[in-house]
Every structure is written in structure tokens, then in C-alpha cells.
């Protein structure tokens, strides 16, 4: 087979022999990185109107692109703000749902104060706190992701790392490394909402529209025309060169993730040592992460190049095309999980793989070798480490897993 062509193995049913307890274990490993990524990275909305966002509005907050943007924007907000106060950390972390939709702009530092019921006691996160624990967990997942990805391109790699259901979302852990930048200022120790006002009521009517207290700012000391007051209030931009360095550091993992995703789907690399050869799971897995990292690279790169990050919510969150993309990514996620669940099988050594019986054995990875007997290739009976000299195995019936001591004659 030429190294410049694709060989995608047709989908097969490999999971027929997996028991229910094993399924629970595999799906727990599968969903843990995804759930941790969403619960720790997606903010809790603060509702400043009686209307609630629709499901597609909420879905956009869960997109990895939105979460990575939030980490970068909060970090840059801290760099820009000279006089960083508890209300600044609260407003930076809050995602406000207003009559105009999502709002995470700097101006909410004044608009939202009349909706505040409590604020953090300090202007940074306590080391012994739930948010810091989330950061540590996501950081460790990020280290796991980087290690697993790099190992798959070395001789010590385990080609079952990603081509089975338990490894589908391990690469999402890379976002946990980006969370470290914003870790001192990530908190949910605040509350904003119309409940602090009692019943919601309009202040005035314009052209038949009800204008809510959020949009009428004269009563809270700031109006739309008071730009000078905003710039002299301690929230003006500071250290623009640091912001540029920050964006560059954030783009490195984004570009690296895209590059690894692209390399993975090229026939010159292939999946886990098999150049140009993919299971259906492996190929869809590669396309999935290309579908995730390519828009991330383009969207975040575009807004980073435009200048200062003025909002902690990704600016395109209300655009129809971004909502369509978020829905498509969700459907793609479901399709990937279903295909992988169908193809995943359990091998004699306890590993799981989407490779069919008769292909390269998942128990023989790195320096570990598999010796087979019999007319078919699925009758593996021993696993030994490659050693110098001659190894002789005699009178063995069954399976042997481990390291055998060589006998030289």
C-alpha cells in the first residue's frame, strides 16, 4: 500500500462481548474529561431579565471555543485593570443574560452593580477553594492529554489511547492547561439577578418597548455618554504589551492542537503507527478534532488580532452561524461516541481497541511483543519483552501475559 493513500477499515461490530459493568467503566472514562471541561469552564449565567435564554443560546456557552476564549479574556481583563477589586473579579466571571442577549463587556462593571446581592470577599481566588481544585484537576488532565498525544508518535505509544471509547475526549484536557493562566481570578462566589430588585419593572417606555433597569443607567451613576468617566475609573487599559504576549501564549496550544489534528488525519502518519490505515473510529476521531480545532484557530486568531478583548464572552456567541456550528459539533460528538461504542472490543490482555480481530494486536505496543500460534492471528498465547538472545517457550497451553525469562541453548 502506498503511504500517500488512505485505507479506512469498514465499520465492524466489536462490542458484542462487552459486559454491562465494563460499559459503565468505559463510559465513565469517556465522559469524565468532557464533563470536567464543561462544569469547570462553562460559567453560571446571571439573569438580569425575567426572560430566559433558549437552548441554543445556552449551548454556545458550552463550546470549547467559548470556554478557551473566557480563560483568555478574564486573564487579559485582569492585566488591563489597574485597580482590581472584588466587584471586578465578580463581573469578569459573570455571564449576564440581558434583554439584549449575552453581555460580558467591561461596562457591566457599572450596569450590573444594582443587580448584585453579594460579591467575593477578595479580589483573587483562595488557594484552598473549589475553583482552585477544579484548576488542579483540569491541569492534570491537560498533562495526561499532552503525554498521551506525544506518546502516540513514539515507539512507546499505546495505540489504544484514543481509538477506543474511553479515550475519545482525552485531548480536551489541553484546555485545562490554558485555564492555569486565569486560575487566580476564576470564581463563582458572587450573585447577580433581578431577585435583588424584587419584582422586575420598566423605568420608561420608548417606542412601545419596555426598557429594564439594566439598560437605563442614569440611576446607577453611569450613562452611555460618559466614556471619560469609564476610562479614568481604574478599568482603563494597562500593559498592552503584556496582553499581546498573553494572546501569543494562548495561541501556541491552539495552533499546536490544530497541527496535531491535521497530522493525525494525513495518510503519511495514520493512526498509531499504521501509516494511512484507519479504523472507522480512528478516522472519524481525526475529523472530529479537525472540526473542533480549525474553527477555534480561525475564530480566536481573528479576534486576538483585532485588538483588546473587550468582553469575556466570545463576540460571535449570538451569531446564527456560531449557533449552527455549536449544534453541528454536538451532533458530531454523538455520532463519534456511537461509532466508537459499536467498534470497541476487549482484548485478551484487558485493553480496549476499535481495531478488528486479526489486525495488529493492541496488546503488542511499544517494546512489548506478541507471539502467536495457530492458523489464525487471533490465537495469541504469550506476551514477552523483546530481549537479546534466543527465547524458547515449550509445552504452553492457554494465554501467558507478562515477562518470560529466556532459556538459552
CA angle, 159 then 164 then 168, to 5°:
100
Claim: this prediction has a pTM higher than 0.85: no
pLDDT at res. 69:
95
- pLDDT averaged over 10-residue windows placed end to end, the chain, 409 residues: 67 83 90 91 89 93 95 92 89 92 89 84 86 92 87 58 84 91 90 60 38 38 39 53 88 92 77 68 92 96 89 94 97 95 82 71 58 50 48 52 52
In 3D space, the residue among 143, 147, 146, 139 whose CA is nearest the CA of residue 182 turns out to be 139
In 3D space, the residue among 336, 252, 248, 321 whose CA is nearest the CA of residue 290 turns out to be 336
Residues listed for the chain: 409
C-alpha 71/C-alpha 67 separation (Å) is 6
Q: Are 57 and 51 in contact (CB under 8 A)?
A: no
φ, ψ (nearest 5 deg) of residue 371: -105, 130
> The sheet that has 368-372: what strands, in order across it?
368-372, 380-385, 400-401
Q: Would you state the cell numbers that stand for residue 187, as one nine-digit string?
A: 470564581
Question: Beta strand pairing status for 277-278 and 368-372?
Answer: unpaired
Contacting residues for 29 by C-beta, under 8 A, at least 6 apart = 165, 166, 167
CB atoms within 10 A of CB 76: 27
pLDDT at res. 214:
39
Q: Would you state the cell numbers that stand for residue 123, as one nine-digit string?
A: 479580589
Q: Are 358 and 340 in contact (CB under 8 A)?
A: no
Contacting residues for 19 by C-beta, under 8 A, at least 6 apart = none
Q: Are 284 and 336 in contact (CB under 8 A)?
A: yes
C-alpha 266/C-alpha 289 separation (Å) is 13
pLDDT at res. 8:
79
Amino acid at each position: 500500500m502506498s503511504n500517500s493513500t488512505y485505507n479506512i477499515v469498514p465499520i465492524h461490530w466489536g462490542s458484542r462481548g462487552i459486559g454491562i459493568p465494563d460499559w459503565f467503566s468505559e463510559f465513565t472514562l469517556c465522559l469524565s474529561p468532557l464533563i470536567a471541561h464543561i462544569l469547570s469552564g462553562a460559567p453560571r449565567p446571571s439573569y438580569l431579565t425575567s426572560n430566559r435564554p433558549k437552548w441554543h443560546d445556552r449551548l454556545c456557552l458550552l463550546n470549547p471555543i467559548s470556554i478557551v476564549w473566557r480563560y483568555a479574556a478574564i486573564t487579559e481583563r485582569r492585566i488591563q485593570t489597574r485597580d482590581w477589586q472584588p466587584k471586578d473579579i465578580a463581573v469578569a466571571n459573570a455571564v449576564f443574560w440581558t434583554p439584549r442577549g449575552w453581555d460580558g463587556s467591561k461596562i457591566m462593571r457599572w450596569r450590573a452593580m444594582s443587580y448584585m446581592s453579594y460579591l467575593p470577599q477578595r479580589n483573587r481566588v483562595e488557594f484552598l477553594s473549589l475553583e482552585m481544585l477544579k484548576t488542579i484537576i483540569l491541569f492534570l488532565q491537560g498533562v495526561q492529554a499532552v503525554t498521551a498525544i506525544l506518546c502516540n508518535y513514539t515507539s512507546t505509544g499505546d495505540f489504544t489511547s484514543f481509538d477506543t471509547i474511553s479515550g475519545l475526549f482525552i485531548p480536551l484536557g489541553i484546555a485545562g492547561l490554558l485555564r492555569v493562566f486565569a486560575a487566580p481570578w476564576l470564581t463563582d462566589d458572587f450573585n447577580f439577578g433581578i431577585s435583588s430588585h424584587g419584582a422586575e419593572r420598566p423605568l420608561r417606555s420608548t417606542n412601545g418597548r419596555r426598557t429594564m433597569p439594566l439598560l437605563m443607567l442614569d440611576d446607577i451613576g453611569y450613562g452611555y455618554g460618559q466614556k471619560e468617566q469609564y476610562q479614568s475609573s481604574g478599568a482603563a487599559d494597562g500593559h498592552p504589551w503584556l496582553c499581546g504576549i498573553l494572546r501569543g501564549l494562548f495561541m501556541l496550544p491552539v495552533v499546536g492542537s490544530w497541527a496535531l489534528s491535521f497530522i493525525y488525519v494525513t495518510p503519511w502518519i495514520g493512526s498509531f503507527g499504521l501509516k494511512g490505515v484507519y479504523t472507522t473510529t480512528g478516522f472519524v476521531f481525526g475529523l472530529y478534532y479537525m472540526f473542533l480545532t480549525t474553527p477555534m484557530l480561525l475564530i480566536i486568531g481573528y479576534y486576538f488580532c483585532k485588538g483588546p478583548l473587550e468582553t469575556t464572552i466570545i463576540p460571535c456567541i449570538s451569531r446564527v452561524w456560531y449557533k449552527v456550528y455549536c449544534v453541528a459539533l454536538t451532533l458530531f460528538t454523538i455520532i463519534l461516541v456511537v461509532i466508537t461504542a459499536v467498534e470497541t472490543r476487549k482484548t485478551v490482555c484487558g485493553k480496549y481497541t476499535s481495531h478488528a480481530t486479526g489486525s495488529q494486536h493492541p496488546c503488542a505496543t511499544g517494546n512489548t511483543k506478541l507471539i502467536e500460534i495457530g492458523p489464525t492471528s487471533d490465537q495469541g498465547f504469550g506476551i514477552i519483552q523483546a530481549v537479546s538472545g534466543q527465547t524458547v517457550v515449550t509445552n504452553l497451553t492457554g494465554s501467558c501475559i507478562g515477562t518470560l525469562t529466556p532459556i538459552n541453548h
